Chains A and B, each alone.
Chain A
């Protein structure tokens, strides 16, 4: 009998092109997603070496990071951003890569459109010059972020030199209570393992609570794997995955679908397979989460007191929390509930899909956002935007007093002018609360779309369960 394997090992082994003692493994990449920020230097490298793109048919580009989320019929005002966006168009034309540019009908955040178009499929290796590529793991793919040198390697050879990762089982069993979401699962995990807890590992999320998540919720969980230091995080495919994929633009059709389905059903982790590391989380005990500090591991239950650095024994950790509270302008021991906020941002590759907008809309319907708060809602893609319109969500948002915008990364990374001002507090559904991440001097609390919507209405950090 063969040794039982995890899905992570199966995915790795099925993509080994070449192995040589003393060298990393040459791994084949099934799908390479490209965006404007991390690719221009890679294309320039190809030109300098006079290389072509080996598999433009396995490569797909879009523009998301640098583009404004305002009226798309207007030119990009920032000349540096405009040049970068234009350069991607030029590069894709020259190298024959399909692109959904700024005016594309299927444009969107790269990690939203990959699954949405059926580009991402179970059993694939997926890379992108972006650390949130882990998102695609929700479809049962081994998906990880790479740097620009590696973008060039994949463009030229469709391969990467890689070393195997450790396997890390993240088991979440039980049932989420009302007001507790997929975002709270991942923020709870990060608060337990810290931002380096998964370094060198790939997470496999398992257990009944994970199984009962929708595909979009699974994407939220996998998306933030990198915030725990894991390059990838994935969920084995099941009927939820297959139902989601069936009929999508690039998903296999007819006999090819049946053949793919037969392959995909062999992917889940074998009974008895062992992991290098394990952690277990009880979904029944989870509560809405919020971050208080300057990395995504600095999170707590929304009603918890802000941690007191003097209670932390490790001196470096004590120093980190102390510095974080200083930057955030927060006082140890107090509650964040009731803390005033200036901006609420609902969007990003973590939480900008139609289900995220629906959950925000359900809370905002018939209510007004606080006049003290600027509320930005940024759909993840043109398809999400179109679906939201079909359901009347933009009207709900606008009636409530929100600013509803065009698709892009927006204030998650604050490259496009959508940003916090120095000292401002933002409640955000995005993935990073690093110093200055959402604008120089800006201070971020990471939360779920439900908590963000509740906070928007109240004008202060709010436990959404008081409004359900």
Chain B
């Protein structure tokens, strides 16, 4: 995983509440066996018409989305399925953070494992961000857990220590878990007899 560094970006507002993972990437694209090539499928059914042409009124097709790295989404972003294809598609499009008033649990965990930072802000800050002009930029400092608004005001956001450590240092969780193998073996030895194996 690449270390997560500070950055500045315009916002791509998509303020609908409860955007589900079927909108982020429709299920028909999940037949792939690869993680790659999903950027074109991001928000596919909102982004393209039935002939596959970009819909000009959809935010991702507008100039302000080009090069932008922060999605400003409505409440409960990423609800629905556990597909990790959702954060894969978002990061491949170029997003590095999603700001919302809340995130669905599985999506949030999947995002953190893919260097996509879920930032929770209060409804008041969310409204303030939505009201910004299209070319306004925010900057994100993960180490300080601070979101800097164009006015110069900074807003703190929560990130648990472990996730922050992994993101900032590019540490992948599996590497950490593999270091715990003695504890895992001890746990298995302690519970032998109460684990019902498929062979049994």
Interface residues of A (CB under 8 A from B): 17-18, 22-24, 26, 28, 30, 37-38, 40-41, 44-45, 49, 51, 54-55, 57-60, 65-66, 78, 80-81, 83-84, 87, 98, 119, 121, 129-131, 145-150, 152-153, 156-161, 163, 195-196, 199-200, 226, 229, 231, 250, 252, 256, 259-260, 263, 295, 297, 316-317, 319-320, 323, 413-415, 422, 432, 434-437, 440-441
Contacts and interface: CB of A to CB of B under 8 A. Distances in A.
A415 B30 contact: yes
Contact of A57 (B20, B74, B105, B199): B199
B31 interface: yes
B82 A260 contact: no
Given A28-B184, A295-B18, 6 more contacts: A30-B196, A66-B31, A148-B35, A195-B18, A250-B196, A319-B16
A38 B104 contact: no
Contacts of A229: 76, 79, 104-105
A56 B196 CA distance: 12
Contact of A199 (B74, B104, B162, B199): B104
Enumerate the 6 nearest inter-chain pairs by beta-carbon distance, A residue then B residue, closest first. Answer: A196-B76, A147-B84, A147-B110, A40-B33, A145-B82, A57-B197
B131 interface: no
Contacts of B200: 250, 252, 256
A256 B197 CA distance: 12
A252 B45 contact: no
A159 B28 contact: no
Nearest to B74: A316
A462 to B, nearest CB: 27
B134 to A, nearest CB: 20
B199 to A, nearest CB: 5
A196 B102 contact: yes
Contact of A432 (B31, B76, B80, B195): B80
Given A17-B184, A57-B199, A147 B34 contact: no
Given A84-B32, A422-B50, A320 B22 contact: no
A317 B187 contact: no
B178 A196 contact: no
Given A18-B183, A22-B161, A317-B17, A38 B82 contact: yes
A432 B165 CA distance: 36
B106 A320 contact: no
Interface in B2-37: 15-18, 20, 22-23, 26-28, 30-35
Contacts of A130: 81-82
Interface in B48-95: 50, 74-76, 79-84
B196 A260 contact: yes
B197 A147 contact: no
Interface string B169-193: 0000110111011011001100101
Contact of B113 (A57, A149, A295): A149
Given A147-B110, A195-B18, A229-B104, A28 B187 contact: yes
23 contacts: A17-B183, A28-B184, A28-B187, A38-B82, A40-B33, A41-B34, A57-B197, A57-B199, A66-B31, A87-B33, A130-B81, A131-B106, A156-B174, A157-B178, A157-B180, A157-B181, A159-B184, A195-B79, A323-B16, A414-B28, A434-B23, A440-B26, A441-B45
Contacts of A87: 33
Nearest to A148: B84
Contact of B198 (A60, A153, A297, A316): A60
B194 interface: yes
A26 B180 contact: yes
B187 to A, nearest CB: 4
Contacts of B110: 147-149
B27 A414 contact: yes
Nearest to B174: A153
B109 interface: yes
A163 B18 contact: no
A131 B104 CA distance: 11
Contact of A119 (B80, B102, B198): B198
Contacts of B84: 38, 41, 147-149
B104 A196 contact: yes
Nearest to A82: B31
Contacts of B80: 131, 226, 432, 434
